[in-house]
């Protein structure tokens, strides 16, 4: 395809070693963003280091919270009884990513490390105040997503798992871009540790972001009508042939309102 070498290490240490040794090594976790990017010539790594043999797949409970391994498939998050019970909005979100074949191969670690501005998972990670656990440290969601396809991860750092505190309530609503099946715009609303958190994907030019004005309003009064007084102001939003910035700004409010309305009844995110 483009002449890279493939490696399938069996320990995290060996994977980290390969990443630091190779001139332009890249982690392969599910490949559903990376392989298309390589085909399109948007990425040309010298080496692909497959982390699917590191035992990083699986969902466990950690002091009541949910811990999801980096290479856990979207489908497995969507169908997991524990996730469905504790954070149903997260299961619904995972079950709405891409299409069934994508969900059979794509991973949570891959999605958040890639930080596509229209990906679903970053919204959940940010709104649920999750912590990203890597092979060397723990990173709070607020410090993790830095910008368009940019995260706080070092070049040779590997995500091991994502730790989700169980929220009081949470709902995700999105409109899908029908061709790419990415979120045209998506809003994840949560109340966690007594605070409202609202994360928006598919709208910010620098990727996922928090709608802090709406969070403050929700902290005062949890009601759909508070959305009406909120605005993203002059924040510059994504504009493309599918939706201009003004349309997206309106979608953010519409979806936020739907999410707050739907917060007690968990139905489809679309």
Partner 1 sequence: MAQISLTVNGRHVEKDVPDDQILSRFLRETLGLTGVHEGCDTSQCGACVVHIGGRAVKSCTTLAATLDQSEVTTIEGLSPIDGDLHPMQAAFQDNHGLQCGFCTPGMIMSAVGIVERSRESGVALTAETVRDELDGNICRCTGYQNIVQSILDGAGRLTQTGGAEK
Options 14, 105, 152, 235; binder of partner 1; rule CB under 8 A: 105
82 interacts with partner 1 by CB under 8 A: no
Is residue 88 a contact point for partner 1 (CB under 8 A)? Answer: no
> Closest distance between partner 1 and the C-beta of residue 253, in Å?
26
Q: Which two tokens stand for residue 141?
A: 């969601």
Does residue 99 bind partner 1 (CB under 8 A)? Answer: yes
Binding characters for partner 1, 176-195, by CB under 8 A (x = yes): ---xxx--------------
Binder of partner 1 out of 25, 69, 98, 109 (CB under 8 A): 98
Query: Is the separation of the CB atoms in 211 and 230 below 8 Å?
Result: yes
> What gap in Å lies between CA 245 and CA 201, rounded to an integer?
13
In the block, residue with structure tokens 């919270």: 65
84 binds partner 1 (CB under 8 A): no
Please report whether residue 28 would count as binding partner 1 according to CB under 8 A.
yes
Q: Which is nearer to partner 1, 180 or 250 (CB)?
A: 180
Angstrom CA distances, 164 to 18, 29, 61, 223, stand at 29, 20, 10, 25
In the complex with partner 1, which residue's Cβ is closer, 54 or 67? 54
Binding region for partner 1 (CB under 8 A): 1-6, 8, 28, 31-32, 35-36, 39-40, 48, 50, 52, 75, 79, 98-102, 104-105, 179-181
């Amino acid at each position: 395809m483009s002449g890279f070498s493939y490696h399938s290490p069996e320990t995290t240490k060996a994977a980290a070693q390969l990443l630091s040794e190779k001139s332009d090594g890249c982690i392969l976790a599910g490949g559903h963003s990376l392989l298309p990017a390589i085909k399109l010539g948007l990425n040309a790594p010298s080496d692909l280091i497959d982390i699917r043999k590191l035992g990083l797949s699986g969902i466990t409970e950690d002091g009541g919270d949910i811990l999801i391994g980096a290479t856990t498939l979207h489908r497995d998050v969507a169908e997991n009884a524990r996730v469905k019970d504790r954070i149903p909005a997260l299961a619904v979100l995972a079950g709405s990513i891409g299409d069934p074949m994508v969900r059979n191969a794509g991973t949570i670690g891959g999605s958040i490390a890639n930080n596509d501005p229209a990906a679903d998972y970053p919204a959940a990670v940010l709104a649920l105040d999750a912590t990203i656990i890597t092979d060397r440290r723990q990173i709070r969601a607020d410090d993790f997503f830095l910008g368009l396809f940019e995260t706080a991860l070092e070049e040779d750092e590997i995500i091991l798992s994502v730790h989700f505190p169980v929220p009081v309530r949470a709902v995700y609503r999105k409109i899908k871009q029908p061709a790419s099946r990415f979120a045209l715009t998506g809003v994840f609303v949560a109340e966690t540790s007594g605070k409202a958190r609202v994360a928006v994907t598919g709208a910010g030019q620098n990727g996922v972001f928090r709608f802090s004005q709406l969070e403050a309003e929700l902290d005062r009064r949890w009601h759909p009508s508070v959305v009406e007084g909120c605005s993203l102001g002059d924040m510059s939003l994504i504009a493309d042939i599918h939706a201009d910035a003004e349309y997206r700004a309106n979608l953010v409010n519409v979806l936020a309102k739907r999410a707050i309305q739907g917060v007690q009844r968990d139905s489809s995110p679309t």
